Structure 1
Amino acid sequence: MFKLVQINLGRRILAHDLLRQTTAANEIDIAIISEPNKNLAKKSGWYTDINIDAAICLPASKHISIQGWGQGNGFVWIDCIKITIYSCYMSPNIRLGEFQHLLNELKNSMATRKNKCLICGDFNAKSMMWNSTTNDSRGDILSEWASELNLISLNTGCEPTFRRGQSSSIIDITFAATNIAPLVTNWRVSEEENLTDHNYVYFDIAIKKDSVRTKMKSRGWRVDTTQMDYFINELRSKLPSREQTLKPERLIENISHACDNTFQRKGIPSDRKKPAYWWSAEIAETRKKCLTRKRNMTRLHKKPNISQEQKDTSRQAYKEERARLKNSILRAKQVKWKRVIEEDPWGLGYKIVMNKLSLRSPPALSEELMLDEAKKLFPQHQKTKWSTTEVRDIIPLFSAEELDRASNRIKLKKAAGPDHIPPEIIRCVAQRLSPICLNVMNQQILKDEFPNIWKTAKLLLRKTT
C-alpha cells in the first residue's frame, strides 16, 4: 500500500515546512504538489514542470524506483509503482483557449500511457463531475476532456479543497484511468492546518510495496569485539574435520554463517521519516488549536441565523491563531538552527544545508543513450593474444610469517568487500585460525588454481564535476 498526498502550496515556504512534517508523520510515499515554492522545488528529489508550477516529491525516494519522468507546460509525470503519476496546475488567469491548449498537450503526453495514468492537480475548474455545486466553462471543457480519455474522477464527498474567507470550491481534482481507479482507496480531504488556502487530499494506492521497491537487503554485521571468542568457537564447529578438503567458497560461507550466529546484521533503512528538526509538541498543540478555530469558523458561516459580527469574530480568531502558528514555526527554526550549528554542524547541520542546495534531479536517460555512454566509458579493443611461458620454478607456499604480516596490514573500520565480511573478522580469522587459512591458500597454489570468488569485485562509476 502506497500513501499519497495532493496539495497546492501557494508558493509559501512555511507551507513547505508543514508539508515535510506532514509527510513524515503520515508516512507519505509520494507528494503531488501544485504551485510549489520555486526555489525549494529546485532541490534534488523534486520533479517539476517547465515553469515549476507543478511538482512531484518523493519523501521515500530511496525505496521507490523511478523508471522515467517528463515535463511539459503545466504538468510533470513520473513512472513508478507500476503507474504513471501526473501533477498538474492550470492558473485561473489563463484564457479558455490556452486552457484547452494545455489540456491537449497533457493529452498528447498521455497518449502512450493513458491506460495506467493517475492525474492530480489544481485545475481551477468547477463541475458536478467532481461534486462541485456549480459548473463553469473550464469545468465543462475539463469534464469533456476527461470523458474522452475514459478518466474517472476520484473526488468523493462535498468537502471543499479550497477555502478563502467565505468562498469555497472543489478545484483540486484526482483523475484515474479505468483500470487504475479500483486501486485508489481511502480518498479524503483533510481540514488540518497547512498554512495555505487549499486542503490536503490523501489517498492510498493498493499496490504491494515489495513488488515495486528497490530490494534492499541487510548487508554486513555490527562487529562486537567482546564476542570474538564465541565467534571463533562457532566457526570451528562449522569447519569440516579434514582441512585439506576445505575450499575458499566453503570457508567464506562458514564465516558468514558464524557471523549470523554471533553478531547482529546491519539495519535496513526505515520507511518512516524523522520529524522536521524544528518540530515540537508546542507547535503540534498550536496546530490543533488552529484547526479548532478553523472548524468553528466554517460551522458558523454555514448557519443562517448567525450574525455577521459573530462570523467576523470567528474569522479574526482563526487568523490570529494561524499567525501564532507561523510565528511559532519561524521562532523554532531559528532557535533549533542555532543549536544545530553549535552542537552538530557536520551532522544534522550538513544534511539541512545540502537539502537546501539547488541540486536538480538528473534527466532520465534512454536505453540507447545509456548504451552509447557505456561504450564511450568502456571502449572495445581487439582481443589481446598474450604470450605464455612455461614456469619451471616451483612456486613457494605461503608461510605463517607472511600471513601474520599481511593480516596486520589490514585496515580496520573500513568498508567490506563483495562478501560483506568486515575487515575485523578477516584479521581475527587469519590470526586465530592461521593453519586453516594457510591450508586453503596453499591448496590453491598446489592445484595451480585461483578461485573465482577471489576475483570478484564491484565496479562503481562516480559522477565528477
Structure 2
Amino acid sequence: MQLSDGDLVAASIELDKTSFWVASAYMAHDKDAPPEEVRTLVKEAAYKKKQLVVSCDANAHNSMWGSTDTNARGESILDFILGNKLSVLNLGSEPTFITKSREEVLDITLTSDSFVHKIKRWRVLSEKSYSDHCYIQFEIDLKTPHVREFRNVRNTDWRVYNKKLGTLLPKIPPRDPATRVELDGLVNQVTKAMNSSLSAGCPVVRYRGKNKPPWLSKQLSSLRESNRTMFNKAKATRTTEDWEAYKADLKIYKKAVRTAKRKSWQSYCKGIEETTEAARLRKILVMSPCNLGYLKGQGNSWTTTSVESLGLVWTHTSLEAGRWNLTTP
C-alpha cells in the first residue's frame, strides 16, 4: 500500500465478503508518539471505513497495556487511541521486550473498536524469537476454508476400542439370519458398533502442522534449540556471563540461517532457470501463491482494490501487445 514506508508496513486483506487493513509499525523513540505515518494510516482507514489491526513496537510505557509504569510517550499514544476509536488488544503484563537489564511491555496491538470482537486469543508466546522482542500471536475470527481432518489409525488405543466394542455388541451371539433382511440388519449393527468403537479409540483430529521452510536443516534446528536453552538460562540467572554467551551463540545461529537461506535460494533459482518460461512462471506461482497487490498507475495515483490493480495490469499488457503487434487472448 502507498501508506507504507521505512517504519510502517501496511497491507489490505480482501476476502469474499469482508476486507480490512493490517499494519506493522515501529515508533522510534526520537519521533512523536505516535508518528505521523501511523496517524495518517488511522485517518485513512477511518475515511475509507476500513477495519484496522496494527501491531506496534511503541517504545512507550503505559499501565493500560501492562507496562510497569506510565511515561509521557505512553500517555500521548493512549490519548491518540481513545480519540480515534481504537482498542488495545494486550492482555496481562507478560513482558514483550527482554534484555539482560530489563523486561518490559513495549509492544502493543491496536484495532478498530468495531473489530475487537473478531480478535481472539491474543497472547505473548514463550517461543524464542531470537530477538529482544517476543512473538505476539492472535487470531482473527473470519470465515475460513474447511479444516483438514484425519484419523491416524496407527495411534489407535486398541484397549479403548475393544472395551467400547464389547459394550455395543450383544452378549449372546444372535441366531443365524433366516432372511436377507435379517442379515443386512446384523451387518449394519456390527458396522455401527465398529465405527463407534474406532471413534472412541482413534478420534478424528485436525491437521495443525505447518510446512517447514526448505532451508531449515537438522543442524539449524539443533542450533535453534541450543540458543533457546541459553536464552532461558540467561533470563533466569540474569548474569552477564550467561547473556554474553547467549548473544555470541545467537550471532552464530543467525549467520547460519543467512547462509542456509542464501544457498536454498541459489538452488531454487538454478532449478527454475532450467525450465521453459511458462513452466518457470507456474513453478514460481505454485511455490509462492499471492494476491495482486496495490499498484501505482499514471499520475502517481495508487489503486485501492485488487480489481483496480488487475485492470491496470490488463491495460498495460494490452498496450504492450499493441506495441509489438501481438494479440491478447
Do Structure 1 and Structure 2 share a fold, with TM-score over 0.5?
yes
- Deviation for aligned residue 1:209: 1.5
The answer as to whether partners of 1:120 and 1:175 remain within 8 angstroms in 2 is yes
The answer as to whether partners of 1:84 and 1:113 remain within 8 angstroms in 2 is no
**Structure 2 unaligned runs (5+)?**
147-207, 296-302, 319-326
1:363-402 to 2 correspondences below 5 Å: 363=295, 364=303
- Deviation for aligned residue 1:349: 9.8
The answer as to whether partners of 2:293 and 2:309 remain within 8 angstroms in 1 is no
Matched, 1:86 2:22: yes
The answer as to whether partners of 2:8 and 2:37 remain within 8 angstroms in 1 is no
1:345-364 to 2 correspondences below 5 Å: 345-346=273-274, 361-363=293-295, 364=303
The answer as to whether partners of 1:183 and 1:207 remain within 8 angstroms in 2 is yes
Aligned CA distance change for structure 1 residues 93 and 345 (closer, same or farther; 3 Å): same
Aligned residue in 2 for 1:169: 104
Aligned residue in 2 for 1:202: 137
Aligned residue in 1 for 2:167: none
Larger Rg: 1
Matched, 1:134 2:88: no
Matched, 1:317 2:245: yes
* Alpha-carbon separation, structure 2, partners of 1:202 and 1:110: 23
* Alpha-carbon separation, structure 2, partners of 1:190 and 1:149: 29
Q: Alignment partner of 2:47: what SS?
A: coil
Which residue identity does 1:281 align to in structure 2?
Answer: K
The answer as to whether partners of 1:146 and 1:152 remain within 8 angstroms in 2 is yes
The answer as to whether partners of 2:100 and 2:234 remain within 8 angstroms in 1 is no
The answer as to whether partners of 1:191 and 1:291 remain within 8 angstroms in 2 is no
* Alpha-carbon separation, structure 2, partners of 1:139 and 1:191: 25
Aligned CA distance change for structure 1 residues 105 and 345 (closer, same or farther; 3 Å): closer
TM-score (norm: length of structure 1): 0.44
Which residue identity does 1:172 align to in structure 2?
Answer: D
Question: Which of 197, 212, 219 pairs up with 1:282?
Answer: 219
**Structure 1 unaligned runs (5+)?**
1-46, 56-75, 212-270, 302-310, 379-459
Aligned CA distance change for structure 1 residues 461 and 318 (closer, same or farther; 3 Å): farther
Aligned CA distance change for structure 1 residues 114 and 296 (closer, same or farther; 3 Å): farther
- Deviation for aligned residue 1:314: 1.3
Aligned CA distance change for structure 1 residues 205 and 164 (closer, same or farther; 3 Å): same
Question: Which of 71, 80, 90 pairs up with 1:145?
Answer: 80
Question: Which of 207, 232, 244 pairs up with 1:295?
Answer: 232
Deviations 1:19-65 (A, max 9, x none): xxxxxxxxxxxxxxxxxxxxxxxxxxxx574423222xxxxxxxxxx
Aligned CA distance change for structure 1 residues 461 and 133 (closer, same or farther; 3 Å): farther
Aligned CA distance change for structure 1 residues 114 and 327 (closer, same or farther; 3 Å): same
Question: RMSD over aligned Cα, in angstroms?
Answer: 4.3
Deviations 1:338-385 (A, max 9, x none): 665777753799978xx99xxx9442356789889999999xxxxxxx
- Deviation for aligned residue 1:174: 0.8
Matched, 1:188 2:123: yes
Q: Alignment partner of 1:179: what SS?
A: helix
Q: Alignment partner of 2:235: what SS?
A: helix
